[in-house]
């Protein structure tokens, strides 16, 4: 005995309803995941200033512990002692290098 047209239509509606139910469950799950991600991001943003201060303090402590103290001289005086050239001369040298030997 063959199934009636009504039985086939009801069967088809049942599978459509089941598919819709499954998709609805997936959407609820995705919505929950998005909400959890948004909450985590909000928490990270609220903690950022505290985290930043803690990291800077830890880095400052590390640098102060590991690096020698800075000399009590101006940066210009230190540059002269190290044999650095004046900025204008340095820029001119860079420009000459960028022009290359063929552009003279």
**pLDDT per position as a tens digit, 22-60:** 999 999 999 999 999 999 999 999 999 999 999 999 999
Helices (H), the chain: 5-66, 75-81, 87-99
As a whole number of Å, the CA-based R_g of the chain is 35
**Domain spans, the chain:** 1-69, 71-104
Is the entire prediction scored with pTM above 0.75? no
């Amino acid at each position: 005995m063959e199934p009636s047209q009504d039985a086939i239509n009801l069967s088809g509606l049942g599978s459509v309803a089941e598919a819709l139910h499954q998709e609805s469950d997936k959407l609820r799950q995705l919505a929950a995941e998005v909400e959890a991600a948004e909450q985590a991001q909000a928490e990270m943003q609220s903690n950022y200033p505290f985290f930043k201060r803690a990291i800077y303090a830890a880095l400052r402590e590390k640098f102060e512990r590991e690096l020698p103290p800075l000399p009590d001289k101006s940066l210009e005086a230190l540059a002269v002692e190290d044999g650095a050239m004046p900025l204008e001369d340095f820029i001119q040298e860079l420009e000459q290098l960028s022009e290359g030997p063929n552009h003279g």
